[in-house]
Amino acid sequence: MSRLLRANFFRMVKNRMFWIGTVCMALIGTLLPFAHYQMMIKEDYPMYIDNGFFVGAVLIGILLAVFCSLFLGTEYHDGTIRNKIIVGRTRSAIYLANLITCIAAGFFMCAAQFILYLCAGLPLLGPFQMEPKTVLTLTLCVFLLAASLASIFTLVAMCCQNKALTAVICILTAVFFLLFGAYLQTKLNEPEIYSQYQYVNDNGEIETDEAAPNPHYIGGTKRKLYEFLFDFLPGGQALQFSNSDVKNPNLLMLYSGIMVVGTTGAGLAAFRKKI
Amino acid sequence: MDYVLQTNALCKKYKEFKALNGLSMHVPRGAIYGFVGKNGAGKTTLIRLICGLQEPESGEYTLYGTKNTDKKILNARRRMGAVVELPSIYLDMTARDNLKQQYQILGLPSYDGLEDLLKLVGLENTGKKKARNFSLGMRQRLGIAVALAGDPDFLVLDEPVNGLDPQGIIEIRELILKLNREQQITFLISSHILDELSKLATHYGFIDQGRLVKELTAKELEGLCRKCVRVEVTNMPALARTMEKLTIEYKIISRSTADLFAKIRVSDLVTALEKEDCEVISMQEHDESLESYYMNLLGGGSRE
């Protein structure tokens, strides 16, 4: 497999989408600290490096969707995957080499954002307010999120032989994850009780409404399911990381690991029957 | 005989369609094996099976003596190269990068021989030009160069001259002949451009409806296709006697028809036969090409 990896990395560094993705992440890492610094100066509002350090988690899904679908789709489109099989490389080795390449691309893009954010953010915004251990844990979480996204897109790209269709499916999947994650977040953020509040009526009198239960509040088993999906699916995870609001990072890492193993197992089984 | 590839009763179905129906063929070492058949006869399916792109439903094949069910078939495949359907090349890469990519897939320790390979296929001056901007002939030659990386001694080409202009066809033909003569590479070439194939092949296999109808050497085919005079006579034993006397090679086709393999003077022949009480009813030159042999064997028409 090392030969396939070497060949894949050779192609990756020549791939335009890989560099576009890396530049996008690098721009976030560079421009966001400057934007936060400007805000801090103009509004006299305290901004920390913590704000937005993990915001790249939201974008990495879209960038990996485009990269994986085009990078792997080319193998079918140009027929080059045949060259690997004809010279005796196994389907499992081909699949795993492609998966590792896509994960590495995701890691590289994330690393570009983190490193440039640190380089620009530390001098402008000062050190982290979070514990170093929390920063490291969340950083690891984002890398694992990138790995789980790469494994999902690898599964799609290796099972669908149409490059254009692969790109459409991957991008729509990435957008769906984010939209569904935002929907879950909105639902889960509904307060259980509307607290007591006062307002001025039409006659100019102050009236007080008592606290009342929120009919949109989701409770019971449905809430548990929503919470699970918010933690398990990459879209929900991305939103949690971008807000640096993660209650149980270890659980999220476990879910990302399960996603990688699950999609890779399914992908390997499906790819053995392909071509 | 030493065979590079042998297949035995190979079967492959696509839903209800039998693409291969008990196909058995033999590709001798050093041969240029022309694999001839109509569209949909099963040529590409066989190539896909031996390249490992698909698995047969039944039957078996051996590559360098290794059975397809043996795990060592993967090692045997490293000794072969193939261009299946379209040339498998990265269109957004240069010719040089495409070859480097294949060298890495093969695990070759260095790029030694890469320039020679480019020179061999006439792409040494393509520089930074992407394969996307190559002509079809250049892409085909690059596809062959990629297949040649790792020095295989068996090359499988599926319709290698399809869509090429006359110049491209000549270039591919010369390349195949050069590789066969100078590097003793065995070729399996599927094609339905019979005239072109007849300029290359040393062996032929004719496939129809997933079965090998006939397998023969170019020499045998030449024997079947050589020029002759077909005569229709009233007395076949008399004709036979006369031919024996004149030491002319002949072949009896029916009770009244025979092929005579010689340049004969019509008046002499008619006179000699008259003496044996035999009349000549008709006489015509008969020149069977690969194309007419194919038409006689498989019939015309396309399955597409």
Q: Who contacts B113 (Cβ-Cβ below 8 Å, separation ≥6)? A: B151
DSSP-derived pairing of the beta strands B211-217 and B186-191: unpaired
Kindly give the residue spans of alpha helices, DSSP state H, lying in B22-165.
43-50, 73-77, 95-106, 114-120, 136-148
Segment 209-238 of chain A within 8 Å of chain B by CB: none
Six token digits for residue B225: 């296709």
CB B211 within 8 A of CB B8: no
Q: What is the pLDDT of residue A114?
A: 93
Whole-angstrom CA distances from B96 to A9, A203, B102, B114 are 16, 84, 10, 8
pLDDT single digits (tens) A171-185: 999 999 999 999 998
pLDDT single digits (tens) B35-67: 888 888 888 889 988 888 888 888 899 988 889
Question: Burial letters for B146-182: b for 16+ Cβ neighbours within 10 Å, e otherwise?
Answer: bbbbbebebbbbbbbbeebeeebbebbbebbeebbee
Residue range A186-199: average pLDDT?
80
Task: Please tell me the distance from the alpha carbon of residue B216 to that of residue B219, in angstroms, as a whole number.
Answer: 8
Name the band, by pLDDT with cuts 50, 70 and 90, for residue B299: low
State the CATH number of the domain containing residue B30: 3.40.50.300
Residues on chain B touching A17 (C-beta within 8 angstroms): none
Residues on chain A touching B93 (C-beta within 8 angstroms): 11, 14
pLDDT single digits (tens) A207-249: 777 777 777 888 888 888 999 999 999 999 999 998 888 888 9
Q: What is the pLDDT of residue A204?
A: 79
Q: Which residue has the tokens 């050779």?
A: A10
Residues on chain A touching B51 (C-beta within 8 angstroms): 82, 85-86
Q: What is the pLDDT of residue A19?
A: 95
Q: What is the pLDDT of residue B301?
A: 47
Interchain contact, A3 vs B146, CB within 8 Å: no
Residues on chain A touching B105 (C-beta within 8 angstroms): 3-4, 7, 83-84, 87, 89
Cα dihedral value B71, B74, B76, B82, nearest 10: 150
Residue range B297-304: average pLDDT?
54
Residues on chain B touching A2 (C-beta within 8 angstroms): 107
- Helix H, strand E, coil C: the string for chain A is CHHHHHHHHHHHCCCHHHHHHHHHHHHHHHHHHHHHHHHHHHHCCCCCCCCCCCCHHHHHHHHHHHHHHHHHHHHHHCCCHHHHHHCCCCHHHHHHHHHHHHHHHHHHHHHHHHHHHHHHHHHHHCCCCCCHHHHHHHHHHHHHHHHHHHHHHHHHHHHCCCHHHHHHHHHHHHHHHHHHHHHHHHHHCCCCEECCEEEECCCCCEEEECCEECCCCCCHHHHHHHHHHHHHCHHHHHHHHHCCCCCCHHHHHHHHHHHHHHHHHHHHHHHCCCC
Per DSSP, what are the bridge partners of residue A13? none
Q: What is the pLDDT of residue A256?
A: 93
ipTM: 0.79
Indicate whether B86 and B204 sit together in one domain: yes
Indicate whether B121 and B17 sit together in one domain: yes
Interface contacts (A, B; CB < 8 Å): 77
Indicate whether B31 and B91 sit together in one domain: yes
The pTM of this model reads 0.79
Q: What is the pLDDT of residue B183?
A: 85
- H or E element, residue B80: strand B80-83
Name the band, by pLDDT with cuts 50, 70 and 90, for residue B162: confident
Indicate whether B196 and B143 sit together in one domain: yes
Asked if A80 has any chain B CB less than 8 Å from its own CB, the reply is: yes
3-state secondary structure of B2: coil
Indicate whether B7 and B112 sit together in one domain: yes
Indicate whether B165 and B121 sit together in one domain: yes
Residue B295 falls inside a structural domain: no
Name the band, by pLDDT with cuts 50, 70 and 90, for residue A101: very high
CB A216 within 8 A of CB A191: no
- Is A62 or A208 the better-scoring residue by pLDDT? A62
Q: What is the pLDDT of residue A187?
A: 87
Q: What is the pLDDT of residue B229?
A: 84
pLDDT single digits (tens) A155-168: 999 988 888 899 99
- Is B122 or B227 the better-scoring residue by pLDDT? B122
**For an interface test with A, which of B90, B98, B99 has the most A Cβ atoms less than 10 Å from its Cβ?**
B90
Residue B297 falls inside a structural domain: no
Name the band, by pLDDT with cuts 50, 70 and 90, for residue B304: very low
| Other residues' Cβ atoms within 10 Å of the Cβ of residue A39 | 14
Residues on chain B touching A4 (C-beta within 8 angstroms): 105
Looking at B216, B249, B277, which one is the last position of a domain?
B216
Segment 87-116 of chain A within 8 Å of chain B by CB: 87-90
Q: What percent of chain B has pLDDT over 90?
A: 14
Indicate whether B102 and B239 sit together in one domain: no
Q: Which residue has the tokens 């005239």?
A: B195
Task: Please tell me the distance from the alpha carbon of residue A75 to that of residue B298, in angstroms, as a whole number.
Answer: 37
Indicate whether B144 and B278 sit together in one domain: no
- Is A237 or B169 the better-scoring residue by pLDDT? A237
DSSP-derived pairing of the beta strands B228-233 and B211-217: unpaired
Domain total of chain B: 2
Looking at B192, B216, B240, which one is the last position of a domain?
B216
Asked if B89 has any chain A CB less than 8 Å from its own CB, the reply is: yes
Domain containing residue B131: 3-216
Interchain contact, B101 vs A7, CB within 8 Å: yes
- H or E element, residue B250: strand B250-252
**B302, pLDDT greater than 50:** no
Residue B303 falls inside a structural domain: no
Indicate whether B201 and B160 sit together in one domain: yes
- DSSP at B304: -
**B294, pLDDT greater than 80:** no
Residue B222 falls inside a structural domain: no
| Other residues' Cβ atoms within 10 Å of the Cβ of residue B206 | 21
State the CATH number of the domain containing residue B277: 3.30.70.100
Indicate whether B128 and B14 sit together in one domain: yes
Name which of A120-124, B78-82, B120-124 the model is least confident about: B120-124
- DSSP at B283: E
3-state secondary structure of B56: coil
Residue B269 falls inside a structural domain: yes
Interchain contact, A79 vs B88, CB within 8 Å: yes
| Other residues' Cβ atoms within 10 Å of the Cβ of residue A44 | 7
Closest CA to B34 of B228, B227, B220: B220
Looking at B159, B187, B216, which one is the last position of a domain?
B216
Q: What is the pLDDT of residue A177?
A: 92
Indicate whether B107 and B20 sit together in one domain: yes
**B303, pLDDT greater than 50:** no
Task: Please tell me the distance from the alpha carbon of residue A27 to that of residue A116, in angstroms, as a whole number.
Answer: 8
Residue range A53-66: average pLDDT?
92
> What's the Rg (C-alpha) of chain B?
24
CB A143 within 8 A of CB A107: yes
Could you tell me the strand order of the sheet in which B257-260 lies?
B250-252, B257-260, B228-233, B280-286
Name which of A63-72, B93-102, B148-157 the model is least confident about: B148-157
**Chain Cα centroid distance, residue A62:** 8
Asked if B151 has any chain A CB less than 8 Å from its own CB, the reply is: no
- Helix H, strand E, coil C: the string for B81-93 is EEECCCCCCCCCC
Residue B276 falls inside a structural domain: yes
Interchain contact, B85 vs A4, CB within 8 Å: no
CB B63 within 8 A of CB B73: yes
Q: What is the pLDDT of residue B287?
A: 64
Name the band, by pLDDT with cuts 50, 70 and 90, for residue B110: confident
What integer best gives the mean pLDDT of chain A? 89
Residue B304 falls inside a structural domain: no
Residue range A131-144: average pLDDT?
92
Residue B203 falls inside a structural domain: yes
- Sign of the Cα torsion B177, B179, B182, B184 reads negative
Residue range B218-247: average pLDDT?
84
Indicate whether B147 and B281 sit together in one domain: no
